[in-house]
Amino acid sequence: MPFVTEDGIIVPAVTADQMREVDRIAVEEFGLGILQMMENAGRNLAGNVLDMLGVATGEITILAGSGGNGGGGICCGRHLHNRGFRVRIVLDTEPKHLGPASSNQLRIVQAAGLQPAAPSEAEDAIRRADIVVDALIGYGLRGAPLGQTAELIECCNGLAERVLALDVPSGMDATTGEAPAAVVRAERTLTLALPKTGLEHIKGDLYLADIGIPPQIYEQLGLAVDLPFDTHYWIRLHTG
């Protein structure tokens, strides 16, 4: 099922495996850096927080996983911290277990004085936030979330007032839309590059963010993509 912009432009969807191949081609053949795309994702995510709040102040909690999704969330936290928001970052693992790009993002915010919250502070951070950003898993879900990740999803669903998910609500299979266990209930989801096929029946608003991937990359997967962003860096999508 394709997705459609508010201007009627059809946007094809991709599976998780197709998105992995897009990322691979972008990095290995086109020379795009993971940190470049992560920066674009994080900045657009911060912009969506501002759009949802309608004000340039507030308290934001970022739930960040160890992979690229978490790195985008941490990057978002930096942009909001730079604008005077009170930002609390809650990791689902110890900092030493973060992937290289996410670890890089964490070092930047730590150098700016923004330290991750202790696990014991997670509930308070989620309860008090004006918006909770779900950046735990993204399209990389493999089976039911476990351990601290699962606990944060349950806590988010039970305590968060408003939730913005990055790419795919954590706990949802990006390809099928199925949820092997609990899935984050997001008011808005900002998916990246192209919508994922599993978002067809998503609850809440769906937006698409430009992270700088040229359409020629999609052509290598046999996808004809008319980039729909025009003068915007994110746009709203509807199912076709």
> In this predicted model, what pLDDT tens digit does every residue of 107-125 receive, in sequence order?
999 999 999 998 899 999 9
Sign of CA dihedral 106, 93, 24, 171: negative
H or E stretch covering 156 = helix 147-159
Q: Which pair of tokens denotes residue 162?
A: 């408003």
Q: Which pair of tokens denotes residue 4?
A: 């459609």
Burial status of residue 149 (CB atoms within 10 A of its CB: 0-12, 13-18, 19 or more):
buried
Per-residue pLDDT, 132: 98
pLDDT of residue 66 exceeding 90: yes
- How many domains does the chain fold into? 1
Q: Residue 176 is part of which domain span?
A: 3-239
CATH number at residue 150: 3.40.50.10260
Per-residue pLDDT, 187: 98
- Residue with the bigger pLDDT between 181 and 123: it is 123
Alpha carbons 232 and 209: distance in angstroms, whole number: 9
Whether the pTM exceeds 0.75: the reply is: yes
- Residue 189 pairs in a beta bridge with 165, 206
pLDDT of residue 98 exceeding 80: yes
Alpha carbons 151 and 87: distance in angstroms, whole number: 20
Contact between 145 and 182 (Cβ < 8 Å): yes
pLDDT of residue 84 exceeding 70: yes
Per-residue pLDDT, 181: 87
Residue labelled with tokens 């979330």: 145
**Averaged over 113-139, what is the pLDDT?**
95
